[in-house]
Every structure is written in C-alpha cells, then in structure tokens.
Chains A and B, each alone.
Chain A
Amino acid sequence: MAELSDIANEFIRQEIEEYLERPTEIERNIELFARVRPAMQDIAAALIEGEDDVVDRLTQQALADGIEALEIMDDGLIAGMGIVGIKFREAMIFVPEVLACARAMKAGMNYIEPILSDSGVEPIAKVLMGTVKGDLHDIGKNLCIMMLRGSGFEVVDLGVDTSDDDFIDAIEEHQPGIVGMSALLTTTMPNMGKAIEAFIDADVRDDVMVMVGGAPVTQDFADDMGADGYGKDALACVEVAKKLASA
C-alpha cells in the first residue's frame, strides 16, 4: 500500500492532505499519484492550480520525451481534474476556479486529442449533450463534456437552447447510447421532462439512456421526469455515463 510520502510532487501531497476528507478518496489518490511518474504529477499540479500555460508547456515536453498521449491524459490531466472535482463538490472551490482548471485541461487536450483520435481507440460510448430549450447557460454542460471526452466518451455537443426536435434529429443522425440534458434555471428545467415526452412520441426513447443535470436539478426531479440517470456535477456525470453505458 502506497504512502503519501511516495508522491514526489509536494503540491499534490499538500492537496491530498488539505482538501481530501473521504478515506476511500484519500487512499485512491495516494495510490494513483504514487504510481504515476513525476512528470505526470507536475502536469496534474499545474492543472489543479489553473496554470494553462504551464500545462501547455509540460504536455508538449512530455510528448517530446516520448510519453504516450493516453498516459498524459489519464495520469496527468484526468488525475488532476479528479482532485478539482472533489474540491468543487465539497465547495472548497467554485466555478471561476474550475473554469481556470478546465482552461488548463484544454491546453493539454489540444495536443492529446488529435493523437488519440488518429490512434483509433474505441470510445466507451457516444453521448449527445445539450442545454434544454429556453436555457442559454452552458458552463456546467461544457465542464461535463470536457470530463466525458477526457474519460473516453465520444461527445456530440448540441450547444444551448436545444429544442426537442433538435435532440430527436441528432439522436436519429448520430445514434448515441446516451443523451445528456442540462438546465441552469428552475424556469427551464421542466423542459427536460417535455423533451423526454417528445422522445417517447417520436419513438426514440427506448434507443437512448437519458441523463440530466444542472444546478437546480435533483434526483427526485430527475426520477419524476423519467430520466435514467442524474449527476450533481461534472465528476458525477462521468460516473453516471459509465453506469448507463454498461447497463
């Protein structure tokens, strides 16, 4: 069993000590970061600090040193984002800080994504993502998309203000396994239920699993609307998508 002192990067050690509270998460992260090479720890640390220029530089350096793109993504970028997700869930950081981390992750993914897509790695599943009709907020959805892509999903982004017909057309065109809908407003969240009803009317409901999320959305509301899954945040979204993909 790995110890905290097995992690070379001091900043990562401090993050685990200071911010992680659940024993299983502490153990998992110590095991993870003790296993990964110091260069990946450095990428994760820069991502957690929201330093996009540093992540950009370290990612390029790692690739130049012959480290596989998949390893950089899993052991550097996603590992760092895992700690960011926990801090956000526990309200230790808020959206501006998460956006800065997402910007840093994107800086790294700009190099990683083209390599992975050329390598022909099969995605876990295809996911359609959109903010519902009448809602133009997309920060949460974009964070989910970034985490899903980083976790091996293929994502089709339908953007904001997505009508029921747009969802249905995209289901028919892209044939995803999962549809994800988000809403930030209490005034627009009922449109998720309307979209699910429209899927039933269009006879496409049984073709997809539906997951929903957004600040005002709750598990109860998701259940009432007939969704298959609900995620409280971007981290949970990935877990829900993995569960739905294997269902």
Chain B
Amino acid sequence: MNQTSPVKAMTSRERVLAALRREPVDRTPVVNPTSVATVELMDLVDAPFPHANRDAAAMARLAATSYTELGFDSVMPVFSIIQESSALGCKMQWEQKDNWPTVRMSEPIWQDVDDIRIPNDYLSHPDIVCVLDAIRLLRKEFGNDVAIIGKTMGPWSLGYHCFGVEPFLLMSLDDPGKTMQCLERMKEATVQFGLAQIDAGVDALTVPDHATGDLVSGEYYKRFLMDMHSEFVDAIPVPLILHICGRTVDRMDYIAQTGMAAFHFDSKNTPCESKEAVGDRISLVGNINNPETLFSKDPADVRREVIQNLESGIQMVGPECAIPLQTRIENLVEIPKAVRHWHDHHGHSH
C-alpha cells in the first residue's frame, strides 16, 4: 500500500524508484513503461516515426515529451518492440509517421534451435546503439529529475519475431524441450541489451514478454518463463517491469513470485482483481484502457479510470500498453492531472 503522507516531496525519479520498491511515495507516480509516443508529440518536437526509432537525438527528444509535455514521472526512449529483432537480423517494416515499425514475422529468420545466433556485434548494431545513445542524452539532459526506463525484450517475444508466431507456438506444443532450449539461447539477447542500457544510465527496465492470455495459458507462463524471469532479476541489476498484454490474472500469482519489481498490466484485468492476485509481492503499473478510453473518449472518462486505479492501490498509474499514435494529448495530460487532484483530496495513505 502506498503511503502518501508524511513523505517529503520527491522528484519524479525518486517517486518512481520508491514505487518500484513498494516504499512510501509523496504521490502515486504516473508512468508508461511501454510508450507514450503520439503523432501530436512527434510534431511538437520534430521527431517523427520512423526516424525517432532510428536516430538517437530524435528518439531522446520524443521520449522526453513524456516528462516535459505530459507531466509523467518517467521517460521511455524505446517506443516499439523491434530494436533487438532488427539487430538479430529480422526483416523489418519501418513504416511511416503514423504507423508502428514491425517485424515481418511471416518471413522468420530461424527454424530450429541451432539457427539461433546472437551476433558478436549485437550491441554495436545501429538500432541498439541508437537506444543506448538516446539514454545517455536523456540522462545528460535530465540528470536525476525523471526516471529513465529502458526496455529489453524477453525471449518469448523474441521467439515470435524470429521464428514467427505460429511456428513458435506450435513448437511449444510439439516439442516443449526444444522450446526451452530456444528460450535459453535467446535470453542472452535480453540480458546483453539490458546490461548495456544499465551502463548507459537507465533506472529501470521494462521486459516485454508476451505470454499473453490471448495466446497461451497461465500454466504455460509457469512452465516456460517463470524461472527464467527470476533469473533476469538476478542477472540484470535494476528494477525490472514485466509487461504482458491481455488477460493475465491467471498468471499474476506466478509473476508475483519472480522477484520482478513491477508488472505492467492490461485493462482486461480489473485493478481490484489484479491487486488481489499479487498482494504486496510486486508493484502494479497500469491500466488505463487504450482503444476505448485514451483513444476514443474524453478526459472525464480518463479521470474515472485513474481514480479506479488509485482507489485499488495500484502503485503506478498509466496507460495499459503503448498508446495508439493518434491519441490526443488532452487525454494523456489528464492522467497526471487526475492523480494530483485525487491526492489533493486524499493526501494520506490509501
């Protein structure tokens, strides 16, 4: 449970780091551990997609808007989930300003465990270096004011990109042992990129690993990923935020056992049931609905969802996932505004 008084005023960075440790905060931090990039923000700082995914200065400029324009407590320079896959050799579709870059998963680069190769110069690939340089630029610009969160893809998500979703999921059923071997090999990419981002200056790392309830069961998460995610906690020495989209309440108990600092959860799970599932074993981040609320509705609707999260004791409030690029700024700025307003009237523990 967040203690909101009598805690001295904190910087955004202090606030996020305290919430990740489930320690008292002066107010609930506003965070999106995935992305708040929008077309409006791209225009504002002249950092459009796809350029902002491939140029460090543009990446840092766009990431900074989360703090400077929206009033969030964190910045996240890795907007998409494709930097590593590009560096591993996947075929890419970089798209345009109003569309997300994606991996051409129908043209997989690996078919078998022996195909898996983490290139020796993996960390020197331009799409990796871009992220590392952007982190350095953000640290230089903001010092310790704002929490800089990086992102390193988990091996399950890399499996989708490198093997193709369908072949990877079928392999998990046909040959679970081989799938484990694949995950063991791919996790090296997760750890290497995570450690490099720590060297560059991140305060925490998001680990997207899309073992979502829309695709696989909670037991799948336990069998294939729970122990590996615990290993990441030991191998990558900053607070880790696991991100899995979709319905996940059936695996939250397992997630809470990994030792990860936080879980970024989707609006398909209510704040109340999610809090009940994890208790005080892990912080929760989320879960303002993207398509129906942030994208389609008005600030009053956003406010209602923020309050629902705050009243459920969610440690960090923010969008459920990377937001649609056409989301209006007025709905995004409403999140920190509603959080501050709520704390003005509930200035003590909740």
Q: Determine whether the beta carbon of A218 is less than 8 Å from that of B106.
A: no
Q: Complex Cα distance A134/B100, Å? A: 6
Segment with Cβ contacts to B, from A33-41, A92-100, A200-208, A235-243: A92-100
Question: Quick one: which of A166-218 are within 8 Å of B by CB?
Answer: 184-190, 215-218
Interface size on B, residues (CB 8 A): 37
Q: Name the B residues within 8 Å of A89 (CB-CB).
A: none
Closest to B35 in A: A187
Q: Complex Cα distance A189/B291, Å? A: 8
Segment with Cβ contacts to A, from B114-122, B166-174, B302-310: B166-174
Q: Complex Cα distance A138/B169, Å? A: 13
Q: Name the A residues within 8 Å of B43 (CB-CB).
A: none
Closest to A100 in B: B173
Q: Name the A residues within 8 Å of B99 (CB-CB).
A: 133-134, 188
- Expressed in whole angstroms, the minimum distance between the Cβ of A139 and any Cβ of chain B is 6
Q: Complex Cα distance A216/B93, Å? A: 22
> Which one, A137, A187, A218, contacts B322 given CB within 8 A?
A187
Closest to B321 in A: A186
Q: Determine whether the beta carbon of A96 is less than 8 Å from that of B172.
A: yes
Q: Name the B residues within 8 Å of A161 (CB-CB).
A: 93, 102
- Expressed in whole angstroms, the minimum distance between the Cβ of B50 and any Cβ of chain A is 12
The residue among A50, A133, A137, A187 with the most chain B CB atoms within 10 A of its own CB is: A187
Q: What's the interface size class on A, roughly?
A: 20 to 34
Q: Determine whether the beta carbon of A160 is less than 8 Å from that of B106.
A: yes
Question: Quick one: which of B292-330 are within 8 Å of A by CB?
Answer: 292, 295-296, 320-326
Q: Name the A residues within 8 Å of B234 (CB-CB).
A: none
Q: Determine whether the beta carbon of A99 is less than 8 Å from that of B169.
A: yes
Contact flag A134-B102 (CB < 8 Å), given A99-B166, A221-B291: yes
A156 is an interface residue with CB less than 8 A from chain B? no
Q: Determine whether the beta carbon of A224 is less than 8 Å from that of B325.
A: no
Q: Complex Cα distance A6/B213, Å? A: 36
Q: Determine whether the beta carbon of A96 is less than 8 Å from that of B322.
A: no
B103 is an interface residue with CB less than 8 A from chain A? yes
Closest to B103 in A: A136
- Expressed in whole angstroms, the minimum distance between the Cβ of A224 and any Cβ of chain B is 6
Q: Determine whether the beta carbon of B170 is less than 8 Å from that of A100.
A: yes
B222 is an interface residue with CB less than 8 A from chain A? no
Q: Determine whether the beta carbon of B165 is less than 8 Å from that of A137.
A: yes
Q: Name the B residues within 8 Å of A217 (CB-CB).
A: 291
Contact flag A186-B291 (CB < 8 Å), given A136-B93, A136-B106, A224-B296: yes
> Which one, A94, A134, A189, contacts B216 given CB within 8 A?
A94
Q: Complex Cα distance A189/B321, Å? A: 13
- Expressed in whole angstroms, the minimum distance between the Cβ of B132 and any Cβ of chain A is 25
Q: Name the B residues within 8 Å of A99 (CB-CB).
A: 166, 169-170, 173
Number of A-B contacts (CB under 8 A): 91
Q: Determine whether the beta carbon of A136 is less than 8 Å from that of B104.
A: yes
Q: Name the A residues within 8 Å of B9 (CB-CB).
A: none
A65 is an interface residue with CB less than 8 A from chain B? no
- Expressed in whole angstroms, the minimum distance between the Cβ of B297 and any Cβ of chain A is 10
Question: Quick one: which of A19-38 are within 8 Å of B by CB?
Answer: none
B83 is an interface residue with CB less than 8 A from chain A? no
- Expressed in whole angstroms, the minimum distance between the Cβ of A245 and any Cβ of chain B is 27
Contact flag A139-B292 (CB < 8 Å), given A99-B173, A103-B170, A161-B93: no
Q: Name the A residues within 8 Å of B296 (CB-CB).
A: 221, 224
1/0 per residue, CB under 8 A from A, across B211-231: the answer is 011111100100000000000
B290 is an interface residue with CB less than 8 A from chain A? yes
Contact flag A190-B326 (CB < 8 Å), given A96-B173, A160-B106, A161-B93: yes
Q: Name the B residues within 8 Å of A139 (CB-CB).
A: 165-166, 169, 215
Q: Complex Cα distance A185/B165, Å? A: 14
- Expressed in whole angstroms, the minimum distance between the Cβ of B172 and any Cβ of chain A is 5
B71 is an interface residue with CB less than 8 A from chain A? no
The residue among B103, B105, B174, B215 with the most chain A CB atoms within 10 A of its own CB is: B215
Q: Name the A residues within 8 Å of B173 (CB-CB).
A: 50, 96-97, 99-100
B95 is an interface residue with CB less than 8 A from chain A? yes
Q: Complex Cα distance A50/B172, Å? A: 14
Question: Quick one: which of B4-41 are within 8 Å of A by CB?
Answer: none
1/0 per residue, CB under 8 A from B, across A80-101: the answer is 0000000000010011110110
Contact flag A94-B292 (CB < 8 Å), given A134-B99, A161-B93: no
Contact flag A134-B95 (CB < 8 Å), given A215-B246, A221-B292: yes
Q: Complex Cα distance A185/B295, Å? A: 13
Q: Complex Cα distance A224/B246, Å? A: 21
A18 is an interface residue with CB less than 8 A from chain B? no
Question: Quick one: which of B139-184 are within 8 Å of A by CB?
Answer: 165-166, 169-170, 172-174
Q: Name the B residues within 8 Å of A160 (CB-CB).
A: 106
Contact flag A218-B324 (CB < 8 Å), given A94-B215, A99-B166, A188-B100: no
Closest to A224 in B: B296
CB-based closest 3 A-B pairs: A134-B99, A215-B214, A96-B173
Other A-B contacts than A134-B95, A215-B246, 10 sampled, CB-CB below 8 A, are A96-B173, A99-B170, A99-B173, A135-B102, A136-B103, A186-B295, A186-B322, A187-B322, A189-B324, A221-B291
18 contacts between A and B (CB under 8 A): A94-B213, A94-B215, A95-B214, A95-B216, A100-B174, A103-B170, A134-B99, A136-B104, A138-B106, A142-B166, A161-B93, A186-B245, A186-B321, A186-B323, A187-B100, A190-B324, A190-B326, A215-B214
